[in-house]
Structure 1
Amino acid sequence: MNTDFIKTRFQLSPTAAPNQIKDSRNKRASAVMLPIIDVAGQAHILLCKRPTYLHHHPGEICLPGGKFEASDKTLRTTALRELKEELNIAHKDVNILGNLPEYSTLTGFSIRPYVCVLNKNTQWVNDHNEVQASFLLSLDELSTEANWQPLPFQRFGKEITLQGFVTPHGLLWGATASIIKNFTKQLALPV
């Protein structure tokens, strides 16, 4: 599966319904970019690991992204700005395919995920204030259900089970894992 396949499949597949936990509280608007790049002819997703000293979500695996700011015209602008700030990826290296359904988190955010393909020779450099490490995971691995494990936990007195994926940099889980799973589900829909 390479980026040409992804482009075609994403354009032809209806948007999958988000797999998420419902929460009716007011949410803070944010956006993430789900960047895809080919390595040896195979599509990979570029992920980040947050530094452990950060107050919010320290050490977690995430997609580049962040909160909507007053200077952002749209959530798409937010996703592009954060991709540039966190990984120094220029807008000219980004081909946005579209977006996935908004995702609400248990921590009070409403996330708009955008899907993009990075140009073939795109280089990135971590901003070490925001990104401890960046790394690639193959879309083939991420779309294989057997590579995911259930993660049961308690939240507000309710038993909740999320899915997790073990990476070389830690556990991929929570909103980021759900967004990636929603994306892989969308690609797998019959055309």
Structure 2
Amino acid sequence: MDDLRARLLAALARDTGPSSDFDLNAPARPPAMGLRGAGVLVPVCVRTGSVILTKRSSQLSQHPGQIAFPGGKIDPGDRDATDAALREAEEEIGLPRDAVEIIGALPPHETVTGFAMHPVLGFITRPFEPRPEPGEVAEIFHVPFDHVTDPARFSVQSRRWRGQQRLYYTVPYGPYYIWGATARILRGLAQRVSA
């Protein structure tokens, strides 16, 4: 745990700047718009040396079936993005707030859907019983930390979205196609860890 903590604290001290879904698609960037705040937790399970991710329900209107961090928009009752990330992680995967040690934050990430996502890095300090929120989370799974922090595992792919060809990062793991904002945030973390 001490080695992983030291690696992550060193990584958090490196400045890579904010990221965006438009990093690879600059011409597609719309005019400046008001972004809604969101907090997502990057939960690192020290015991298993993994990051916990979710597969969103295919019934959701936003990003159905995609791989995501636990998290969501900042509600009026939330103190900040960290509070929102912890609240959402408890709701979405059953992770108690008191089982998470926040060690820092990654730069904000702007999404094509109009959110300023604030990724918060946290250690899971004790075992918990994962519990997917019905209707929102289809699956909870672990990805090895070394997999998602190895820059060589990332690639750029493309697809048509809203009539335009768009480029995006991917970091597949087994049956899980990790792409878009989740992969871009993980790629930023990988850059910091490997620097």
Q: Which stretch of the first structure deviates more once superposed, 104-113 or 22-31?
A: 22-31
Structure 2 residue corresponding to 1:105, chosen from 111, 131, 136 = 111
1:183 aligns with 2:181: no
1:15 aligns with 2:15: yes
Cα pair distance change 1:58/1:157, threshold 3 Å: closer
SS at 2:104's partner residue?
strand
Q: Which stretch of the first structure deviates more once superposed, 20-29 or 92-101?
A: 20-29
Runs of 5+ unmatched residues, structure 2 = 24-28
The amino acid that maps onto 1:17 is G
1:4 Cα offset (Å): 2.7
Q: CA RMSD in A?
A: 2.0
1:154 Cα offset (Å): 4.8
The amino acid that maps onto 1:111 is M
The amino acid that maps onto 2:35 is K
Q: Which residue is 1:172 aligned to?
A: 178
Q: Aligned partners of 2:192 and 2:124: how far apart in 1?
A: 20
1:163 Cα offset (Å): 1.5
Cα pair distance change 1:135/1:151, threshold 3 Å: same
Q: Aligned partners of 1:146 and 1:11: how far apart in 2?
A: 22
Structure 1 residue corresponding to 2:157, chosen from 147, 151, 162 = 151
Deviations 1:66-88 (A, max 9, x none): 00111111111101100110011
Q: Aligned partners of 1:4 and 1:37: how far apart in 2?
A: 13
1:144 Cα offset (Å): 2.8
The amino acid that maps onto 1:6 is L
Q: Which residue is 2:26 aligned to?
A: none
Q: Which stretch of the first structure deviates more once superposed, 169-178 or 13-22?
A: 13-22
Whether the aligned pair in 1 keeps the contact of 2:59 and 2:135 (CA below 8 Å) is no
Q: What is the TM-score normalised by the length of structure 1?
A: 0.87
Cα pair distance change 1:128/1:25, threshold 3 Å: same
SS at 1:58's partner residue?
coil
Q: Aligned partners of 2:161 and 2:15: how far apart in 1?
A: 28
Deviations 1:1-57 (A, max 9, x none): xx43232122233232234326432211101000001345xx210000001011111
1:185 Cα offset (Å): 1.3
1:72-111 counterparts in 2 under 5 A? Answer: 72-111=78-117
Give % identity: 25
Whether the aligned pair in 1 keeps the contact of 2:19 and 2:108 (CA below 8 Å) is no
1:146 Cα offset (Å): 3.7
Count of residues in correspondence between the two structures: 185
